[in-house]
Structure 1
């Protein structure tokens, strides 16, 4: 492309483009975006940015006798998220209490939740939210593993689930 063609495509004057090419002018982000758009390349390609490292997150699971727990957050204080895979182990429910608030979402399997006087089974897609000062226990509801997400927060810090109601179907 000629300087005139690039100038017409970017709106950058030919003299500015010439100074950019010769190195006598530094490119601003505004100029780089216009040039990348005109040349149909990414900004990284245009400035020959170094490749970034592996984008995958490598989580370190913690093994327990009856579960594998994968911390999804590393922050101290505030809400913390975990993915848990509970293995059936025949444990008898032993409800406990502690400070905080818990939100549990079942990804796969059937989860037995003993919460106060309630003894319920949650299935895929179901959610439970409770104050952990209420005696509670959860484990596999049958002899199959159960996968769940758990978000635990300090006392009184509730999770908020917002859902848009389904639109009524027209006949």
Structure 2
């Protein structure tokens, strides 16, 4: 959980820099003040959707919130296959940001690897925006509001990210996919 401890002070700094209380931030994000406090404490997993909401609300780049470094490219950003910026925010998913060098992004592209797990171990999340998934390898179960959908290599799925969703690899194998959050 070390990564949460690195991100938490940046969340506090952004909020305090704007001059908002925990309660004001919670109200603007549509979450409880308790959740904001938990995320800012660095003791609880911080969902990427929450970080994206904070970055949009506070007009701070997501890369800056996650890494503490500013993206610098404004015309284009080429990320080679071995260069994706690892976003260590969940112990069971491997996130690689594919747009981390580009300043002022309007979408967040990720290369994600999700391991197989039992259906009982799937944890739902939701966040503002829309999401696009394109499966590159394996078979992915996506639960949208409890409804299971099977997405295979070459298939894509576009959905409202406010719909509670959970993911897992199937067939005892990892699944690799592109995930774009708008």
TM-score, length basis structure 1: 0.52
1:131 is the counterpart of 2:157: no
Q: Which of these residues, 66, 83, 91, is aligned with residue 111 of structure 2?
A: 83
**Runs in 1 of length 4+ with deviation above 6 angstroms?**
none
Query: What runs of 5+ residues in structure 1 fail to find an aligned partner?
Result: 1-54, 154-171
Cα distance, 1:61 vs structure 2: 2.0
8 A Cα contact 2:114 2:167, kept in partner: no
Partner of 1:68: 94
Compared CA separation, residues 56 and 115, structure 1 to 2 (3 A): closer
Greater Cα radius of gyration, structure 1 or 2: 1
Compared CA separation, residues 125 and 56, structure 1 to 2 (3 A): closer
Q: Which of these residues, 95, 101, 110, is aligned with residue 124 of structure 2?
A: 95
1:106 is the counterpart of 2:132: no
The total of aligned residue pairs comes to 99
Q: How does 1:21-60 map to 2 (within 5 A)?
A: 57=80, 58-60=83-85
Spell out, residue by residue over 1:33-64, the C-alpha distance to the aligned partner (whole angstroms, 9 max, x if none): xxxxxxxxxxxxxxxxxxxxxx8732232343
Compared CA separation, residues 112 and 59, structure 1 to 2 (3 A): same
Cα distance, 1:93 vs structure 2: 2.3
Greater share of helix? 2
**RMSD (CA atoms):** 2.1
Cα distance, 1:143 vs structure 2: 1.1
Query: What runs of 5+ residues in structure 2 fail to find an aligned partner?
Result: 1-77
1:149 is the counterpart of 2:160: no
Cα distance, 1:117 vs structure 2: 4.1
